[in-house]
């Protein structure tokens, strides 16, 4: 899931770009790694993606494929 897709999801769910960028900046603060901000971002993206999948695919085969892709993407991030 690219940055532009993240921005689109946040906009669709009434999150501002400023909030997304502030979370990303917290994650990438200097040389310090902010695990709390990282997990907040992952949790928000996971919830918003699940809502999107639920609304679009609703237990179809494509929904299961999308959920698998999200799970793999989250594992790569952690």
- pLDDT computed for residue 52 by the predictor: 72
The residue count of the chain comes to 78
**Tally of domains in the chain:** 1
Provide the pLDDT confidence category of residue 39 given band limits of 50, 70 and 90.
Answer: confident
The DSSP element (H or E) to which 40 belongs, if any, is helix 35-56
Query: Confidence band (pLDDT; 50, 70, 90) for 24?
Result: low
Q: For CA atoms 64, 4, 9, 28, give the dihedral sign.
A: positive
Burial 16-48 (b: 16+ CB within 10 A, else e): eeeebeebeeebeeeeeebeebbeebeebbeeb
Q: Which domain holds residue 47?
A: 3-77
d(CA 21, CA 11) in angstroms, rounded, equals: 12
pTM value is: 0.34
């Amino acid at each position: 899931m690219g940055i532009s897709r993240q921005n689109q999801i946040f906009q669709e769910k009434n999150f501002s770009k400023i909030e997304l960028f502030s979370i990303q900046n917290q994650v990438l603060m200097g040389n310090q790694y902010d695990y709390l901000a990282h997990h907040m971002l992952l949790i928000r993206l996971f919830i918003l993606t699940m809502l999107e999948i639920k609304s679009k695919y609703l237990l179809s085969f494509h929904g299961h494929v999308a959920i698998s892709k999200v799970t793999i993407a989250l594992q790569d991030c952690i």
